[in-house]
Amino acid sequence: MTLATDQSPTHSRTEPQSRGAHRSAVLDPRLLWGSLPDAVRKLDPRTLWRNPVMFIVEIGALWSTVLAVIDPSWFAWLIVGWLWATVVFANLAEAVAEGRGKAQAESLRKTKTATTARRLTGWAPGIAGDEEEVAAPLLRQGDVVVVEAGQTIPGDGDVVEGIASVDESAITGESAPVIRESGGDRSAVTGGTTVLSDRIVVTITQKPGESFIDRMIGLVEGANRQKTPNEIALNILLSSLTIIFVFAVVTLQPLAIYSKANNPGVPDSLALNADGVTGIVMVALLVCLIPTTIGALLSAIGIAGMDRLVQRNVLAVSGRAVEAAGDVNTLLLDKTGTITLGNRQAAEFIALHGVSPDELADAAQLSSLADETPEGRSVVVFAKQRYGLRARTPGELTGASWVEFSATTRMSGVDVDGHSLRKGAVAAVAQWVTTHGGDVDAEVSAVADEVAATGGTPLAVGEIRDGAARVLGVIALKDVVKHGMRERFDEMRRMGIRTVMITGDNPLTAKAIADEAGVDDFLAEATPEDKMALIKKEQAGGRLVAMTGDGTNDAPALAQADVGVAMNSGTSAAKEAGNMVDLDSDPTKLIEIVEIGKQLLITRGALTTFSMANDIAKYFAIIPALFVGLFPGLDLLNIMRLHSPQSAILSAVIFNALVIVALIPLALRGVRYTPSSASKLLSRNLSLFGLGGIIAPFIGIKAIDLVIQLIPGM
């Protein structure tokens, strides 16, 4: 029986990226048109009150509509129309962000078909139990089901018996099957996936309606998205600014009445009448001065941040985890499979004194033919590639007795024609040699120590020929650091993030790998208690910590970490403890998650800066238009030389609405992030979005004013 192995990280990201590319056209007219009904439905005050800024705009639009009905004019109705457009455009930003996840949610729902489960009653290890068919939705926690080749796994659970190849493409989008087996850290299975071979018994761990797919559907649709602490704080700030501007605008009415009473010769104008400032103009002023841009886009930015994680096949329990990833100070990374390829490979044959390199290579290859571990296969390949030895198979040696590698003996080898070869751990081979009357030279220990000091793993090769036992040499295995890891860690360092490698290796090996990879620190011979202690130590210093894990012994550390990324291939305990689940089970994705979190924070900060700076230009458009008739000196502030008070106010309101639509792609796609220090990022955002936020309205309002001039009566 041959079972496919888990997909490699390189391949696992292909499909999510293609889906992300397909969904990147955020201003696709069909997407906008399809989201418009949702945007209109969000005009319901019971929904909109959660966004205080836009709620105030809707109240102002409603009041302006009443005033326009009482005293109709083209100017009044144009203002009313664009005020309502402002609210709809704000809702459209959120509707588009949510709409991008609906297609994926619909795809996930298809996996929740009316599956029939084969539930076992009275099952126990060694006891088959009785089988009955039930509908999958009727399963409860603790139920035991059996799934065979071609059948769909009816619910989330852990494999308690058997091993099988499972197709998880319905969840991950990756077509390569993976192995799921009882015991170990690859026992968790997800409802909706399909068993391709063999038979497994699964204990259901989900509660009804709380399956992995149920949670994922809710998250990609935004139904379960909770506001993050930073988002709540920003909402409070925006609400406070809105309240301040409400009071400021309201005070204009008595100020205008008082000023007009002291200047009776001033004729009524657009802004001023016998009673002061007109109601519609007051609303227009308020809408233009409050931070409507960021208020409209804030929710969309948060939804898009989680959406970018979904595109990379990462399920976040909440937006808090995404935001925390952006503030991470310390990354804890497992060595095996994250920093290194995971499988040690033969890198060098070191022959002892009196032994030729070719003789050692031949013995190493022969003694490894019965070793099916990745290390054993790498020895065979290395001997072939480096020393030109042809590929051989155990069947070619007649009368040979093969010794397969086992964890007990820690050796593999072959006995043929009175000649014995063994390859394995240095201590095991040395004991085998001495047991058969041979002597182990001190050179063996010296070479082995030298290999270990450089980060390698030494294996010894011994032989018995003509009754004489000896050690021929040492094989140096090396845990290969993944390509580009040093550059990634350099990026992390520029971002102010400290990287710590966690490994069970001895300190010498750990230090060599850490130096080669370029991490800042390492924790050798790590136990679950050591990981927990390290996380608490970092957090006690005021730092946020992120880590990955897949085993039950990782669960406490995942729960303690601020960002705990559990592998989908891991145990249910690990997935429950973490606040993110990587569906591709790629530990290196933690670095991408941190970058997505930082991009979310930077996007929110950049658009907030742009929105605040935006208001400055609106002051120069509306304030002169309001009071230039009363105070002619204010005409000096009309630096845009707008055509008339009517066109100035209308241009500002139109620009205020259109800029929301213009920024939707940026809110959904995110501001481009390049690793650099916080001060450099701040300088760039202030110069680009701060200065841009001041200049863009001057250009936009003036352009709209030129168009309005062409309208008769304006």
Under 8 Å between Cβ of 500 and 332: yes
**Distance from first CA to last CA of the chain, Å, rounded?**
82
Under 8 Å between Cβ of 607 and 294: yes
Q: Which of 654, 652, 622 is nearest to 638 (CA)?
A: 622
The DSSP code for 552 is G
Instruction: Please report where in the chains the tokens 């936009």 appear, as a residue.
Output: 700
Long-range contacts of 662-665 (CB under 8 A, 24+ apart): 663/293, 663/297, 663/607, 663/610, 664/26, 664/27, 664/92, 664/93, 664/96, 664/297, 664/300, 665/26, 665/27
Q: For the residues of 477-521, what is the DSSP string, one character each? A: EE-PBPTTHHHHHHHHHHTT-EEEEE-SS-HHHHHHHHHHHT-SE
Under 8 Å between Cβ of 701 and 657: no
705 among known catalytic residues: no
Q: What is the CA radius of gyration of the chain?
A: 34
Burial 10-39 (b: 16+ CB within 10 A, else e): eebbebbeebbeebeebeeeebbeebeebb
Burial 161-175 (b: 16+ CB within 10 A, else e): bbbbbbbbebbbbbe
Return the SS3 of 679.
helix
Return the SS3 of 389.
coil
Q: Residue 586 contacts by C-beta under 8 Å, 6 or more apart in sequence?
A: 9, 12, 13
Tell how far CA 11 is from the center of its chain. 17
Under 8 Å between Cβ of 629 and 640: no
Q: Beta partners for 499? A: 331
Return the SS3 of 346.
strand
The DSSP code for 292 is H
- Separation CA 527–CA 547 (nearest Å): 15
- Separation CA 123–CA 662 (nearest Å): 61
Given the residues 143, 198, 214, 334, select the one marked as catalytic.
334
Tell how far CA 506 is from the center of its chain. 32
Number of other residues whose CB lies within 10 A of the CB of residue 302: 26
Number of other residues whose CB lies within 10 A of the CB of residue 237: 13
Q: Which residues belong to the active site?
A: 334
